[in-house]
Amino acid sequence: MDDEKTKIGLEVHVHITALKTKLFCSCPADYVGKDPNTVVCPVCLGLPGAIPVLNENAIKYAILTALALNCEIADKLVFDRKHYFYPDMAKNYQISQYDGPGSMAIARNGYLKLNDKIIRIRRINIEEDPAKIIYPTGSLLTSKYTLLDYNRSGTPLLEIVTEPDLRSGKEARLFLEKLRSILEHLGVCNCGIEGAMKADVNISIEGGERVEVKNVGSPKDVEEAINYEMARQRAIVLQGMKVERETRHWDGERKVTVPLRTKETEEDYRYFPDPDLPPYNITRELIEKIRSEMPELPDKRAERFVTQYKISMYQAQVLVSEKALADLFENIASKYKNYSKIANLLINDYMRWLNENNISVSQSKATASHIIELLQFLDSGIISMKIAKDFLPEMILHGKTPSELIKEKGMTIIKDESYLSKIIDEVINEEKEAAEKAKKDPKVVNYLVGMVMKKTNKRADPILTVEIIKKKLGLI
């Protein structure tokens, strides 16, 4: 769905996973896999009298992100209290930033280029994450009770807010995928960690109020949530009713949005400067120092791939879409010089299998040396492409090398002409009708080749097999 009358804006919440400690205390920021409510202190729990102390490294990562997104950076950082009453906020307010009178976000007025379109960035805030809400006996709608894990409370976040420049679910997904790649290249966030990158989606169509869909967990879910919400809102308008301003929840299992509450306005949050956190001055010297240390970003890396490795821009853009994938490509390319062949294998076979099985590159156990060995076996004719594709899942899931798999499965290519000749005779005898058709229509030879492959467990050399079949049928 794509409609110029539809306006979509994103509020992207990104964990600064590069930080070792939380935003306002010394508790470890890595809460993944920890027992509930064990990585906490009086500051995390919002206990009376607990005073927050700013983790200054969060400012450096925020500036780095702001520079990558072409933002104007404030000369002063002011933290505000955003008040709302919800079980995941122990203090009943969140320490955040507000871009208004007497306050300012750390960065604003930036942009991200998406193909030929500019998506404006309204602002970037630094804020703390609330606790994790757990629904033990179902979902938000069906669970009989709710549990809270405060390990995540106080984890440092960047909130990246766009202008409503997006027009479709697909466009929003592509934006998030590019943003994810930038954050990974900067070293700000390991977006492969569950919950490290989420988005609130604001959607409105002509004739209706803005609807916010909260805490959508992946670019794919964002696309699906937007597509559903656009259809829902259009149906309301077509029935002569008005879309009301509200907050909704994305049910990833049923693929629908469901109402949560009437949408708050900014006034409802009662923003005011946090009296426990004095303003922090940001010097031009600090900004320029961070700019000088900025790593290579995805767009520049893609351009370098085209120049250095002589691959297409499409291939380069796919490879840099995930930093781990781009790093894997370059590690392989340092020792194997058929760069186009590397790109084709990674994009068409390796990534396809990962995506179909919902596995990230960082979770794969197939190392660069595994892929190099696989390519070398292909080049030498020891294995066929079909066998290589069969090997990939074992390499990815279990870290097995191609050498180990060849020994286990005995899946080397059969090039013995006398042996193949006997197999082909069997196939021609069993498939007499097809063999006769092949004499008049050479395309039928492919069917006979498939029968030979079936008898040899895909191990027959396809080129040699075609040659022998054609000789036996008098086609050459």
pLDDT value of position 388: 92
Q: Which of the listed residues 235, 258, 290 is the one where a domain comes to its end? A: 290
Is residue 2 in some structural domain?
A: no
For residue 139, name the pLDDT band (cuts at 50, 70, 90): confident
For the residues of 87-106, what is the DSSP string, one character each?
TT-TTSEEEE---STT---S
Q: How far apart (Å, rounded) are the C-alpha atoms in residues 411 and 404? A: 11
Distances (CA, A) of 75 to 59, 273, 287: 12, 16, 10
68 and 157 both lie in a single domain:
yes
DSSP H helical segments within 293-401, as ranges? 298-309, 313-320, 323-333, 339-344, 351-356, 368-380, 385-398
76 and 151 both lie in a single domain:
yes
Higher pLDDT: 109 or 253? It is: 109
Higher pLDDT: 439 or 305? It is: 305
Please check the confidence at residue 181 and state whether its pLDDT lies above 70. yes
pLDDT value of position 327: 97
377: which 2 tokens? 């076996």
Higher pLDDT: 100 or 349? It is: 349
For residue 264, name the pLDDT band (cuts at 50, 70, 90): low
Q: Which of the listed residues 261, 290, 319 is the one where a domain comes to its end? A: 290
Q: HSE (CB half, 13 Å, CA atoms) of 181? A: 25
Which domain, by its residues, includes 383?
Answer: 298-409
pLDDT value of position 384: 85
14 and 108 both lie in a single domain:
yes
Residue the block writes with tokens 């179902």: 138
For residue 371, name the pLDDT band (cuts at 50, 70, 90): very high
138 and 248 both lie in a single domain:
yes
If one counts every other C-beta atom within 10 angstroms of the C-beta of residue 290, the result is 18
Number of domain units in the chain: 3
Please check the confidence at residue 423 and state whether its pLDDT lies above 90. yes
243: which 2 tokens? 């879309």
pLDDT value of position 472: 92
Is residue 323 in some structural domain?
A: yes
Please check the confidence at residue 420 and state whether its pLDDT lies above 50. yes
3-state SS assignment for residue 204? strand
**Beta carbons of 230 and 221 less than 8 angstroms apart:** no
Please give the mean pLDDT across all residues of the chain. 92
pLDDT value of position 462: 85
Is residue 438 in some structural domain?
A: yes
Is residue 333 in some structural domain?
A: yes
76 and 156 both lie in a single domain:
yes
Average pLDDT, stretch 228-248? 92
Contacts of 322 (CB under 8 A, 6+ apart): 180, 181, 184, 360, 361
**Beta carbons of 78 and 273 less than 8 angstroms apart:** yes
Q: Are strands 147-149 and 132-134 parallel, antiparallel or unpaired?
A: antiparallel
Could you read off the pLDDT of 300-337 as tens digits, one per residue? 999 999 999 999 999 999 999 999 999 999 999 999 99
Could you read off the pLDDT of 55-91 as tens digits, one per residue? 999 999 999 999 999 999 999 999 999 998 888 988 9
375 and 273 both lie in a single domain:
no
Weakest-pLDDT range from 2-6, 242-246, 326-330: 2-6
For residue 98, name the pLDDT band (cuts at 50, 70, 90): confident
Is residue 350 in some structural domain?
A: yes
3-state SS assignment for residue 222? helix
Q: How far apart (Å, rounded) are the C-alpha atoms in residues 89 and 98? A: 18
42: which 2 tokens? 């009086």
159 and 305 both lie in a single domain:
no
Instruction: Give just the sign of the alpha carbon dihedral 186, 187, 188, 193.
Output: positive
**Beta carbons of 157 and 130 less than 8 angstroms apart:** no
pLDDT value of position 265: 66
Is residue 324 in some structural domain?
A: yes
243 and 386 both lie in a single domain:
no
Please check the confidence at residue 1 and state whether its pLDDT lies above 60. no
333 and 425 both lie in a single domain:
no
pLDDT value of position 345: 97
Q: How far apart (Å, rounded) are the C-alpha atoms in residues 250 and 357? A: 22
> Model-level pTM?
0.86
Q: What is the CATH number of the domain that holds 467?
A: 1.10.10
pLDDT value of position 374: 96
Exposure of 422 by Cβ count < 10 A (0-12 exposed, 13-18 middle, 19+ buried)?
Answer: exposed
Is residue 339 in some structural domain?
A: yes
361 and 272 both lie in a single domain:
no
122 and 250 both lie in a single domain:
yes
Please check the confidence at residue 277 and state whether its pLDDT lies above 60. yes
Is residue 1 in some structural domain?
A: no
Contacts of 259 (CB under 8 A, 6+ apart): 246, 247, 248, 249
Q: Which of the listed residues 223, 258, 290 is the one where a domain comes to its end? A: 290
142 and 233 both lie in a single domain:
yes
**Beta carbons of 161 and 11 less than 8 angstroms apart:** yes
